[in-house]
Amino acid sequence: MHPLTPKPSSWFVRRSSRSSDWPVPALMAAKATGNHRISVVIPAHNEERTIADVVLTLRGELMEQVSLIDELVVIDSDSTDATSSIAASAGAEVYAASDIVTDLAPLRGKGEALWKSLFVTSGDIIVFMDADLTLWGPHFVTGLLGPLLDSTDIRLVKGFYDRVSAHPGRPTGTDGGRVTELVARPLLNLWWPDLAGLVQPLAGEWAVRRSLMESIRVPVGYGVELATVLDAYAIFGLDAIAQVDLGARAHEHQSTQDLALMAAELLAVADRRRPDRAWTEPTDQLLQYTRSADGQDVLPAARPIPLAERPAAASVPAYGKSAVLS
């Protein structure tokens, strides 16, 4: 090792593994020993192109060939395409996010879907998977389950992988994308240096114990992953978190302006959770700029920043009861 190359932290060595370290027979034995129930939740918005493959693969290999997964649930977030019907035909339990906990005003976002999934699932361990996966496999689920089934001390497991571009010719690497590298990673290194060992803190593939997820506030948008990491660390400490190398997955690039909105949300989520800062409500709009159609003028455009957070699910009266609109 080069003398200027930092050595991996002891946490990185203890709590990092590969998906291949967790074979299915060992997971099945650990599941039985611990009497666990496992739910896989897929939040989806207009993902008709990929949702069938995700559902069919997981159902076929981890529910029918072996009974590792007990529930396979898709939370449809206001899709305007055939995502819902395709997911149901493939064998998933499908719920519209707007039909869950209907006594609360509906909000939109990924975190909203994950929070509402707590009301329609029963697993003590929950695996969250993105609906737009390509270049992936069921080892995503088995890898994420491994540390949780192996040790009761683990509360949260984050996945990481090489991000292979869906567009030929673009580079491959373990970087977590532009928002991770320009916002989340600097935030963690500056204010939560213990968490700097997380390779991809914003990865959409992760697993968590229900007892943790039901006890924390959940941002309704893309801040849900960062919030869960920070809250798990604050409540249980660094050794409650693990990470697993899942190999590779393909991804689509988003526009810089859309990423800026995500970045603003992450900054608000992080600032709320800094123990040394008194929280003051930030502005709820991000001002961006575009050129006019004729190219002569620069025009301002204000976009709302998703700042809302749902309360801990366990504090909601509907939790533990039927929370779906019949």
pLDDT of 5 over the 60 cut: no
Residue 212 pLDDT level (bands cut at 50, 70, 90): very high
Q: What is the pLDDT of residue 282?
A: 65
pLDDT at 227 over 80: yes
Question: Which pLDDT value is given to residue 71?
Answer: 98
Query: Domains in the chain, start-ordered, CATH in brackets?
Result: 10-255 (3.90.550.10)
Over residues 42-101, the pLDDT tens digits come to 999 999 999 999 999 999 999 999 999 999 999 999 999 999 999 999 999 999 999 999
| Half-sphere exposure of residue 129: CA atoms within 13 angstroms, side-chain side | 32
- Indicate whether 10 pLDDT > 90: no
Alpha-carbon distances, residue 15 vs 26, 70, 101, 127 (angstroms): 18, 26, 36, 18
Q: Which carries the bigger pLDDT value, residue 218 or residue 186?
A: 218
pLDDT of residue 83: 97
24 has a pLDDT exceeding 70? yes
Can you give the pLDDT at residue 300?
A: 73
pLDDT of residue 166: 53
Assign 3-class secondary structure to 211-244: HHHCCCCEECCCCHHHHHHHHHHHHHCHHHEEEE
The pLDDT assigned to 152 comes to 96
pLDDT at res. 277: 65
With 50 as the cut, is the pLDDT of residue 326 above it?
A: no
What CA–CA distances, in Å, run from 145 to 23, 124, 195, 269? Answer: 10, 12, 21, 26
Average pLDDT, the chain: 88
251 confidence band (pLDDT: 50, 70, 90): low
How far apart are the C-alpha atoms of 269 and 223, rounded to whole Å?
6
The residue that leads in pLDDT, 138 or 257, is: 138
State pTM to two decimals: 0.87
More confident of the two residues 253 and 91:
91
Q: Is the pLDDT of residue 176 over 60?
A: no
Give residue 306's pLDDT: 83
pLDDT in tens, 275-287: 776 656 666 777 7
